[in-house]
Structure 1
Amino acid sequence: MKKVLLIGIGAGNPDYVTMQAVKALNEVDVFFFLDKGEAKRDLVDLRTEICERFITNRSYRVVEVESPARDVSRPSYKSGVHAWHRDKADIFGRLIEEELRDGEVGAFLIWGDPSLYDSTIRIIHQILADGRITFDYEVIPGITSIQALAAQHRIALNTIGEPVHITTGRRLNEGLPRHIDTAVIMLDNGSGLRALAGEDVDIYWGAYLGTPDEVLVAGKLRERVDEIERVREEERSRKGWIMDTYLLRRNPDKRKDS
């Protein structure tokens, strides 16, 4: 039977690759790389570097295909994402069916961890539910941008006995939930930064975490928001894309309970 590995490769630094991931890399016959265009070519280059650095068996091959783009003109965000996932499922299913022989192992190298704000596990479930092809699969965890952010800022994610809320910039526009004082924000197009700028909130922000381009900013959100927005735009213009994560923490005495 064919087998597919979803290998978390960490948040951008090859040193984040775990020993479990290295072992899995050396089991792979075919790697499937998604090309997201010239601006994001360094995402493919990192995957290539990881393979060359950690794989001792050089008989593997790489199949690279163009990644489908999400249709941002859809009337709702979720409908656009569902359509995007269907497009990916068609491509992934074809790759597994046509490029992977029976008994071989294929792999997708997942930025960060496959379980956190990544669609690949859901796409694999969708392919198997379709029933056209059969294969086994395994998930290898990776170091997330959240872990890298906390390490680089030298902070603990949670305060004593309190939860951590993980959400997106889009949801942050609704404000922090009651009784939540620590939130990690991912996939922010920039709008979420302003949502709590009027409150007494600390921010720990990082972009391109773990890479040579890493940028860190920390302090009171109201005092740092202009700087972070400026850096985001400068870095996006320079590289053509940006991948950032941040933690917001407020004093529970300043919480707006209702």
Structure 2
Amino acid sequence: MKKIYVIGIGAGDPDHLTLQAVKALNEVDAFLVLDKGEEKSGLTRLRRDILDAHVKDRSFRIVEARDPERDRDTPDYAPAVDDWRRRRADLYERFIARDLGENECGAFLVWGDPALYDSTLGILDEIAGRGAVAFDHEVVPGISSVSALLAKHRTGLNRVGRPVQITTGRRLAEGWPEGVDDVVVMLDARQAFTRHLDQDLFIYWGAYVGTEDEILVSGRLREVSDRIEELRSEARARKGWIMDTYLLRRD
């Protein structure tokens, strides 16, 4: 039986890896690394840095494939995501079927934690449901961007007896979630926090957390919003991409 590890590798710092993750890395015969284009080549380099730092036996193979493009301009968000996930599933299925020998072990290196805001586990479920290739898989948790962000800001995710919601910029743009005062927002391309300047909110914001390009800002939202927009725009222009996360906290 072929085996797949889904390994959480943290937010970007090679030191984020757990001992369990390091052990799993050293059992892998082949890693699938998706090429996201020249602009995001730094993400591929970070993965290679992690392997250089933690894998003792250099006999493993790296299989590269071009990550399918997602249509980000269509108003039909859900169908576009479904199509993108299907094409990714085709890539993953080919990797398992063609690039792994019987009884070999393959791995997907997942930013942050595989169970939080990532599609890998759902895609593997889809492949298993197709029934064309047999494999077993194991999930290794990692340090999420949320955990890394809050550690950098030296604050906690929750307050006593109060709920937390993790959502997207798309959802936050539609309105503040009911029944919560602490909201974590992942990858907000729309900068939806600017729609809530009328509320008394505190923000803990970070981009490229755990990497050499890390940027952190915290403060009253209405006082630091312009600064975050400026930093975000400059960073995106300089690198061609940005990954950011933030916690909004209502008094």
Bin for the TM-score computed over the shorter chain: over 0.9
Q: 2:98 aligns to what? A: 98
Give me the whole-angstrom Cα distance separating, in 1, the residues matched to 2:59 and 2:192: 46
Specify the SS of the correspondent of 2:157. coil
Q: 1:249 aligns to what? A: 249
Q: 1:113 aligns to what? A: 113
Are residue 11 (structure 1) and residue 7 (structure 2) matched? no
Map Cα deviations across residues 54-97 of structure 1 (whole Å, 9 max, x no partner).
11111101001111011124341111100000000011101110
Aligned CA-pair RMSD: 0.9
Give me the whole-angstrom Cα distance separating, in 1, the residues matched to 2:203 and 2:84: 32
Give me the whole-angstrom Cα distance separating, in 2, the residues matched to 1:216 and 1:233: 14
Q: 1:164 aligns to what? A: 164
Give me the whole-angstrom Cα distance separating, in 1, the residues matched to 2:145 and 2:170: 18
Give me the whole-angstrom Cα distance separating, in 2, the residues matched to 1:75 and 1:171: 14
Specify the SS of the correspondent of 1:53. helix
Q: 1:48 aligns to what? A: 48
Give me the whole-angstrom Cα distance separating, in 1, the residues matched to 2:77 and 2:225: 26
Aligned pairs for 1:86-235 (under 5 A) are 86-235=86-235
Q: CA deviation at 1:115?
A: 0.8
Are residue 32 (structure 1) and residue 32 (structure 2) matched? yes
Normalised TM-score (structure 2) = 0.98
Counterpart residue type for residue 64 of structure 1: E
Q: 1:256 aligns to what? A: none
Give me the whole-angstrom Cα distance separating, in 2, the residues matched to 1:190 and 1:205: 14
Give me the whole-angstrom Cα distance separating, in 1, the residues matched to 2:37 and 2:161: 44
Structure 2 gap segments, 5+ residues each: none
Give me the whole-angstrom Cα distance separating, in 2, the residues matched to 1:108 and 1:194: 35
Counterpart residue type for residue 7 of structure 1: I
Q: CA deviation at 1:111?
A: 0.6
Q: CA deviation at 1:160?
A: 1.1
Q: How many residue pairs align between the two structures?
A: 251
Give me the whole-angstrom Cα distance separating, in 2, the residues matched to 1:74 and 1:96: 31
Counterpart residue type for residue 57 of structure 1: D
Q: CA deviation at 1:31?
A: 0.5
Give me the whole-angstrom Cα distance separating, in 2, the residues matched to 1:222 and 1:47: 37
Q: 1:59 aligns to what? A: 59
- Asked whether the equivalents of residues 190 and 229 of structure 1 are also in contact (C-alpha less than 8 Å), the reply is no
Q: CA deviation at 1:52?
A: 1.1
Structure 1 gap segments, 5+ residues each: 252-258
Q: CA deviation at 1:236?
A: 0.2
Identity of aligned residues (%): 55
Worse overlay, 105-114 or 188-197: 188-197
Counterpart residue type for residue 29 of structure 1: D
Specify the SS of the correspondent of 2:93. helix
Q: CA deviation at 1:187?
A: 1.9
Specify the SS of the correspondent of 2:143. coil
Give me the whole-angstrom Cα distance separating, in 1, the residues matched to 2:144 and 2:124: 20
Give me the whole-angstrom Cα distance separating, in 2, the residues matched to 1:59 and 1:241: 32
Normalised TM-score (structure 1) = 0.95
Q: CA deviation at 1:7?
A: 0.3
Worse overlay, 28-37 or 175-184: 175-184
Worse overlay, 194-203 or 12-21: 194-203
Counterpart residue type for residue 245 of structure 2: T
Counterpart residue type for residue 132 of structure 1: A
Give me the whole-angstrom Cα distance separating, in 1, the residues matched to 2:57 and 2:94: 26
Give me the whole-angstrom Cα distance separating, in 2, the residues matched to 1:21 and 1:43: 18
